[in-house]
Amino acid sequence: MTAIIAHRGAKKYAPENSFPAFQLAYEMKADGIETDVQLTKDNIPVLYHDENLKRIFGEKGWINQYTLEQLKQLDMGRSFHAKFAGTKIVTLVEFLDWIKDKPLTLHLELKNSKIVHKNLEEITYQLIKQYQLLDRTYFSTFSEKSISCLASFQEISNIGWLTKRYRKNLLAHALSIGATAIHIKHTLLSHSLTKEALTVNVPIRVYTVNSSRLLNKCFLYKVNSVFTDVPDKAFALRKKYINACYINEI
């Protein structure tokens, strides 16, 4: 069964990568939560997607130019909707405290491409290990260098290579750089790719899947997971798809 992973939480309904978005995703029966990890100026891992602060905070500068204390003074909710005013940036530790007792998988995208966060992989790995969550944590990144670093930690077995560009031998390349799965943009999804992935036992996870047409396509192709901004919609469509399959088998 295709897992439903809430992309930056229930991003359609609440500020991305915030506790309101995470809580909504949980209530909407998502199977897991995807979020982004970067480092502050004082090397604290926080959950934030963009490299700069403009879109979310309306401020100049880059995430790694601010300390955690400075970032905690900023409001990441008002730009989404007035009712979320006062929402603060979330640290990885705060997130792990929240999720540790919930039956959710963790999908952590390490944002180590445009900005190189020194020791991001090591810091994140050690925290996940400390919280004893390695068995249900999935790491991903666009950075091949970052994948190699993650692969050097023997206890990490779930490493997804993020890509939105077509290339020949996509699966073989992912394996060659140390990844154990591919996380592809929905435009790359094809029946032939999913068949090949099944043959070589490489999980395929697809982003960002919001429309009914694309969600149903992913369910039909039996991809391992979809990353979606609308986990409630995805859950309802998956339930409908499963029921239809059951009726057809009778």
CB 40 within 8 A of CB 68: yes
Higher pLDDT, 131 or 250: 131
> Over 80: is that where the pLDDT of 81 sits?
yes
The neighbouring-strand residues paired with 71 are none
Average pLDDT over residues 31-46: 98
Mean pLDDT of 219-239: 97
Show the tokens assigned to 246.
Answer: 């059951």
Q: Look at residues 219, 140, 153 and name the one whose alpha carbon lies nearest to residue 186.
A: 219
For residue 144, give the amino acid letter: E
At 10 the pLDDT is: 98
- CB–CB of 151/122 below 8 Å? no
N-term to C-term CA, the chain: 19
pLDDT in tens, 160-190: 999 999 988 999 999 999 999 999 999 999 9
* pLDDT of res. 37: 98
The tens digit of pLDDT for each residue in 185-217 reads 999 999 999 999 999 999 999 999 999 999 999
Residues paired with residue 183 on neighbouring β-strands, in sequence order: 162, 205
* One-letter identity of residue 43: N
Identify the pLDDT of residue 110: 98
pLDDT at 250 over 60: no
- What's this model's pTM, rounded to 2 decimal places? 0.96
How confident is the model at residue 249, as a pLDDT?
60
CATH of 3-249, one of 3.40.640.10, 3.30.70.20, 2.40.10.480, 3.20.20.190: 3.20.20.190
In percent, how much of the chain has pLDDT > 90? 94
Q: Which residues contact 164 (CB under 8 A, 6 or more apart)?
A: 184, 185, 187, 188
DSSP codes of every residue in 147-213:
HHHHHTSTT---EEEEE-S--TTHHHHHHHTT-SEEEEEGGG--HHHHHHHHHHT--EEEE---SHH
The predicted structure's pLDDT at residue 247? 64
Exposed/middle/buried for residue 32 (C-beta within 10 Å: 0-12, 13-18, 19+): buried
What does DSSP assign to residue 52?
A: B
Mean pLDDT (the chain) is 96
- Name the percent of the chain lying above pLDDT 70: 98
**Mean pLDDT confidence for 98-112:** 97
* pLDDT exceeds 80 at position 65: yes
